[in-house]
Amino acid sequence: MLTSDQNPGRQPEPAAGQLSRQTQPQTELAGERHSPPQAELAGDNHSPPQAELAGDNHSPPQTELDGERHSLLRAELVEDRQPLLWPVEPHIGPYDLTLYLGNGIAANDGPLLAAHGITSTLNLAVNLPLSPLTLPDGIELRRHHIGLIDGSGNSAVHLMSAVLALAGMLTQDSPGKASYPAHRPGNILVHCRGGRSRSVAVLALYLHLAVGNRYPTLKSALDHLRLIRGTGPEQPCGPLWQLMMACLNNDYARLLTAAKL
């Protein structure tokens, strides 16, 4: 059990890519591992490249594509029934916190969150409303919610607002006012419904813009997150990828880079 005078950011972290409570699921087809496309360089204006078959420019047969999509969806359904957490980056912000990536079920699992020193969450799913949650030691989980669509329909301003919200959460105080629920600074979980697309997009932008010494390009941040999450270049989804590129070239991105949070 955590107490208010412990430093949650200094707790021993599980190995990168390790799941909490279970073995990491394999979301890719057996025997197939996708490498991130080379065209995903920070600052370019290209959409995600379409995978080509080696040696020719023909698309795979439709039946093969349908079978692959079916297998991926089936694997996602299995994942979405269990709480999943991955440590992404330690020693962030003035409170020396750790950023986590996870799914919606993990964001509602009080004992699991407490075991990892998580006291705040950022929910990025427009389709996932969550109720207040008190952790086992009586601390109120501080929930933040910026609802994004997993597909088209968002704007670059909306996506960038989630990145800036994450930066603000890392520096926010926990005043002991009588009207405020009991809270203390702790590690932060960034999640959507499945933790594959929206949360990866926001974390990748944050890591590149705010921790540029470790992630000098957007591609390097995405490579790191895809390795942890076990996904291929299909995530984040195409519309979010296009918005990510737009976010790199606006004034809000320069503001976050200058803040060095």
Residue 49 CA to residue 40 CA, distance in Å, equals: 8
Residue 149 CA to residue 201 CA, distance in Å, equals: 12
pLDDT by 10s per residue, the chain, length 261: 434 444 444 444 444 444 444 444 444 433 444 444 444 444 444 445 444 334 445 555 666 556 666 666 776 677 777 999 999 999 999 999 999 999 999 999 999 999 999 999 999 999 999 999 999 999 999 999 999 999 999 999 999 999 999 999 999 888 778 888 888 889 999 999 999 999 999 999 999 999 999 999 999 999 999 999 999 888 999 899 999 999 988 777 777 766 555
Residue 91 CA to residue 96 CA, distance in Å, equals: 4
Rounded to 5 degrees, what are φ and ψ at 186? -155, 180
Where in the chain are the domains?
Answer: 86-261
Contact 135, 186 (CB under 8 A): no
Q: What is the pLDDT of residue 55?
A: 43
Contact 169, 144 (CB under 8 A): yes
* CATH number 3.90.190.10 given to 86-261: yes
Residue 10 CA to residue 34 CA, distance in Å, equals: 34
Residue 3 CA to residue 184 CA, distance in Å, equals: 10
Give the H/E segment covering residue 218: helix 218-229
